[in-house]
Chains A and B, each alone.
Chain A
Amino acid sequence: MWSIVVKELKIVLREKGSFFFLLLMPILFIALFGSVFGNTGTTVTVNYLDRDGTKASKQLIKEIDQIDGFKVKKQSSTSLDKQIKEIKEGKKTSLLVIPENFEKDMQAGQSVKVKFYRDSTADQSVAPIRSVLENISHGYKDHKLSTVLMTVTKDAKKVKEMMASPVQIQEIKENVKSVNAISQVVPGYTVMFVFFIMITMIRGFFREKDSGMVARLHSTPMRSIHYLIGMWIPALIMVLIQCTVLLSFGYFVYDLHLGDGIAIVAIVFCLAICGTGLGLALSMLVRGETQGIAGTQLIALGGAVLGGLWFPFDLLPAFAQKVGHFTPQFWAQKSFQDVMVRGAHVGDVLQGLGVLLSFGLIGLVIALLQYKRYLRSATH
C-alpha cells in the first residue's frame, strides 16, 4: 500500500498542473478578492457641486466627508447639465447639488432644497449616500427645533431631554475576535478549492484504468483495498498541504485571525477526508474523465454558492440557506468562521466536524462498493 502512496506522490510532484489547480489558483483568488474586499473596507464617493461656495455649504460637505466609509469629490465642471448628462450616460451614479443662496436661506430660516441627482438603475450603490443625506437633513431639523425650544424654554437641560429619542439603539459586539472580509474570503476559497482535489483523483484513477495499469497491478499479490487506500492517501496529504499553505497565506499576508490552532487542524483534517472521500466515490462512479470533471464542478461550485463560501451565508435567500445546510461546504465554512471569528474550540464545532467526516465516510463506502465495477471497466 505504501508503495502505491509513494509512487502517486512522485507522479503528482512531477505534474505541475496539479499545483496550479490546488495552490496557485486559490492563492490568486484569495489575493484578488482579499485586495478588493480586504481590511481597507469599502468607500462610497459622494460627487458634489457647490454652487453657493459659502461657509455653510462647505460645512455641509465637511460633515459628509467626516463620516466613515464616505468621501466627497468636488466636480471640476460647474455645468449642471453636463453633470446630469454624465449620470444619464452611466458615467456617474449620483450628484449632490448645493444651490446658490444656501447659507442665506438657512440663516433666514427658510427651507433649502439640496438636490440629489441619481442614476435610477444604481439603487444599491446610491442608497448609502441617500441614507447619509437624510440623516444630515434630520440633524438640521433637530438643530432648528432645539433652537426654537431654547428660545421658548431657556432651559438647555429640558431641551436636551425633549429632543432625546424615546428609542436608543446601543450596538454591542459579542464574541467577535476579528471580523473582516478576509475571514470570509480565505476560509471560503480554501474550502472551495479543496473540492477540486476530486479532479486530480479522477484523472489519476482514469490514467491507471485506461493504461491497463490497474489490470496489471491485479496480476500481482496486491489486495484491492490496499490499492484504493494507496490511491486515496496521497490525495489526503495533498489537501492537508493545500489547506496549510492557503491558511498560512491568509495569516501571513492578510493578518487572518486563525483562532484555536487545534480546532483549525481538526477542521482541515475532516475537510480533507470529506473532499477526498467524495473524490474517491466520484472516481468509481463516473464513466469518463469529462463526466468526472463536470461532476466535480457541480459539487465544488454549487456547494460554494449554497454553502456561503463566496458571500456571507445570511445574505442567501431563505430557500438557498435551507439547501445550503446539506452541503459539506456550509459546515466547513461555518466551523472555520466559528473558530476564527467567534473564538470557538474543538468542542464547539463538533457538529460541523461530524458532518464533514460523515460525507467523507459515505464517499469511502460508495468507493468500496463500486470498486469491482471500476475494475471490470478497466483496460486489460
Chain B
Amino acid sequence: MEKALSIQDLQKSYGQKKALQGVTFSVKKGACFGLLGPNGAGKSTTMKILTGIVGADHGRIEILEMDATKKGRELRQRVGYVPQSITLYEKLSAYDNLKFFGEMYGIRGKLLQQRIREVLIQIGLQDRGKDAVETFSGGMKRRVNIAAALLHKPEILILDEPTVGIDPQSRNHIFDMIRILKKEGVTIIYSTHYMEEVEVLCDDIAIIDHGKIIAQGNLQELLTEYSQRAVYVEAPTLKEAPTSLPGAIRTYAQGDGWMIETERLQETMLYFLQSDTSEDIKRLEIVRPSLEHVFLSLTGTQLRD
C-alpha cells in the first residue's frame, strides 16, 4: 500500500538529553496511525519534526513521497498540525482565528469564507463563530484548535494529544470528526497516551518510549504479540493466591479477585468450577487482552513526569 509518510532512523538531542534515538516507522495513505507513549517518551518531538517546527539531528523523513527536509514549505501546505496546547487568540472570535489561520495557509477571499463556514459546521460551532474564544469551554476551544488545521484541506493531519482535559461529549465529537476525515481519505497521525482512543480510532499503532519505537503493528498484532491471555476469578473465600493451577504463568491480585495469566484458559476455569470454592465464586471470566496491558507491560508501571 502507498505510504503517506516514512521515517528512517530519526535522532534528536536537546543538550545531553537524547529525545529520539533512531525512530523508524511508516504510515499508510488514508490510515489512522496512533503514536503511543508515556510522558517524555518522544511523541511530541517526533510530531514537531514532522511538522518542521524543529529539525532532526539525523534521519530521513519522506512525506507524500517528498523529502521533508528539502520540500518543507511545500509540504506544510499539504499537512495540518493540531498542537497539544490550545494555540488560539483568546481575545479574537472563532471566526477571526480561523480567518487568520486560513490566510496563513494561503487561502483568501470567498474560498476562505466558505471553508470557515464548513469547518465551523464540522466542529459544531456554526452559531458561535462571532464569539470571542475566551468565552468558550475547554472542549469548544479544542474543537476550534482542530478546525484551524483543517481549513486548507490537508492530506495528512497530525494531532498531538488533541483531547487533553475535555468533556466526553467534545471528545466524542472529535472522534466523529476524525472518522469522517479518515473516510474522506485524510491520513491521520494521532499522538496520545489514552489507550482507549487509539483502540477505537487507529488502524496501526507504534509505541514509543525513551526515544525508541518499542512495538508497532495493528491492534490485533500487538495484542497477540505482547499480551498474555488470562482468567479472572473473584470469590470471598479465596483470600490467598490460588496455587498449583494448571499452566499458570503468573498470578496476581487485581481488584477484589485474582488474575491468572495462562495459555490453558478452559482448564483453569474448570479447575475453579470444580474446586471447593465454586459455590462462592462471584466472577469467573476470560479476560480480553487490552492495549493498556500491552502498554504497561512494555513501558513499565514506574511514574513518568
Q: Which A positions have Cβ atoms within 8 angstroms of B?
A: 3, 6-7, 10-11, 14-15, 211-213, 215-223, 379-380
- The answer to whether the Cβ of B104 comes within 8 Å of any Cβ in the partner chain is yes
Cβ–Cβ contact B85 & A219, under 8 A: no
Q: Establish whether residues B87 and A3, one from each chain, have CB atoms under 8 Å apart when the complex forms.
A: no
Extra contacts besides A218-B51, A221-B104 (5): CB < 8 Å? A7-B100, A15-B91, A213-B89, A219-B51, A380-B83
Query: Is the CB–CB distance between B89 and A219 below 8 Å?
Result: no
Interface size class of B (residues with CB under 8 A): 20 to 34
**A194 to B118, alpha carbons, bound, how many Å?**
44
B42-91 residues with Cβ-Cβ distance < 8 A to A are 44, 48, 51-54, 73-74, 76-77, 79, 81, 83-85, 87, 89, 91
A221 touching B100, Cβ below 8 Å: no
CA distance A10 to B92 in the complex (A): 8
Which of chain A's residues have a CB closer than 8 A to the CB of B73?
Answer: 221, 223
**Contact A7:B105 (CB < 8 A) given known A221-B73, A221-B76, A380-B83:** no
- CB contact under 8 A between A3 and B83, given known A11-B89, A11-B91, A215-B48: no
Query: A216: nearest residue on chain B (CB-CB)?
Result: B87
A220 partner residues in chain B, CB cutoff 8 A: 76, 101, 104-105
| B75 nearest CB neighbor, chain A only | A221
Chain A residue nearest to B48 (CB atoms) is: A380
Indicate whether B9 reaches chain A with its CB closer than 8 angstroms: no
Which residues in A have their C-beta under 8 angstroms from that of B96? 7, 10
Query: Is A216's CB under 8 angstroms from B81's CB?
Result: yes
What 1/0 flags go to B254-272 for Cβ under 8 Å of A?
A: 0000000000000000000
Task: Kindly list chain B residues whose C-beta atoms are within 8 Å of the C-beta of A379.
Answer: 85
A88, chain B: closest CB distance, angstroms: 60
Chain A neighbourhood of B103, CB < 8 A: 3
**In the complex, how many angstroms separate the beta carbon of B254 from the nearest chain A beta carbon?**
38
Q: Which 7 A-B pairs have the closest CB atoms?
A: A3-B103, A219-B51, A219-B81, A212-B85, A220-B104, A216-B87, A14-B91
Picked from A11, A14, A215, A221, the residue with its CB within 8 Å of the CB of B83 is: A215
Contacts of A212 in B (CB 8 A): 83-85, 87
8 Å CB contact of A211 from B54, B85, B91, B105: B85
Q: Closest approach, in angstroms, between the C-beta of B56 and any C-beta of chain A?
A: 14
B106 within 8 A of A: yes
Which residues from chain A contact B85 at a C-beta distance below 8 Å?
211-212, 379
| Closest-CB distance, A319 to chain B (whole angstroms) | 45
Find chain B residues with CB under 8 A from A15 CB: 91
Nearest residue, chain B, Cβ from A380 = B48
Residue of B nearest to A379 (CB): B85
- When chains A and B are docked, how far (Å) is the Cα of A15 from the Cα of B92? 11
Per-position 1/0 for B97-120, Cβ under 8 A of A = 000110111100000000000000
A371 to chain B, nearest CB (A): 14
Q: In this complex, what residue of B is CB-closest to A7? A: B100
Residues of A near B84 (CB, < 8 A) are 212
**Can you report 27 residue pairs joining A to B where beta carbons are below 8 Å apart?**
A3-B104, A7-B96, A7-B100, A10-B96, A11-B89, A211-B85, A212-B84, A212-B87, A213-B89, A215-B48, A215-B53, A215-B83, A215-B87, A217-B104, A218-B51, A219-B79, A220-B76, A220-B101, A220-B105, A221-B74, A221-B77, A221-B105, A221-B106, A380-B44, A380-B48, A380-B53, A380-B54
Q: Which residues of B contact A223 (CB under 8 A)?
A: 73
Complex contacts, A6 vs chain B, CB 8 Å: 100
Assembled-state Cα–Cα distance A379/B103 (Å): 23
Q: Chain A residue with minimal CB distance to B78?
A: A221
Q: How far is the CA of A220 from the CA of B54 in the complex (A)?
A: 13
In the complex, the chain B residue whose C-beta lies closest to that of A220 is B104
Shortest C-beta distance, B10 to chain A (Å), equals 16
Asked if A3 and B48 make an inter-chain contact with CB atoms under 8 angstroms apart, the answer reads no
Q: Is the CB of B91 within 8 A of A218?
A: no
Chain B residues with Cβ below 8 Å from A10 are 91-92, 96
Which residues of A are found within 8 Å of B106, using beta-carbon distances?
Answer: 221
**Residues in chain B near residue A7, CB distance under 8 A:** 89, 92, 96, 100
Cα distance A11–B101 when bound, in Å?
15
Bound-complex Cα distance A216 to B81 (A): 8
Least CB distance, B89 to chain A, in whole angstroms: 6
Nearest A residue to B132, CB-CB = A14
CA distance A223 to B53 in the complex (A): 12
Q: Residues of A contacting B51 with CB < 8 Å?
A: 218-219
In the complex, chain B residues whose CB is within 8 Å of the CB of A211: 85, 87
Chain A residue numbers with a CB within 8 Å of B44 are 380
**Chain A positions within 8 Å of B81 at CB level:** 216, 219
Complex Cα gap A216–B105 (Å): 12
Tell me the smallest distance from the CB of A356 to a CB of chain B, in Å. Answer: 32
Distance of B3 from chain A, by nearest CB (Å): 21
Considering residues A14, A212, A218, A380, which has the most beta carbons from chain B within 10 angstroms of its beta carbon?
A380
State in angstroms the CA–CA spacing of A220 and B105 once bound together: 6
| Distance A216 CA – B53 CA, assembled complex (angstroms) | 8
Q: Which residues of A contact B105 (CB under 8 A)?
A: 220-221
Closest to A12 in B: B91
User: In the complex, which residues of chain B have a beta carbon less than 8 angstroms from the beta carbon of A217?
Assistant: 104
A14 CA to B90 CA, complexed, in Å: 11
| Min C-beta distance of B211 to chain A, whole Å | 16
> What CA separation (Å) do A221 and B105 show in the bound complex?
6
Q: Which residue of B lies closest to A223 (CB)?
A: B73
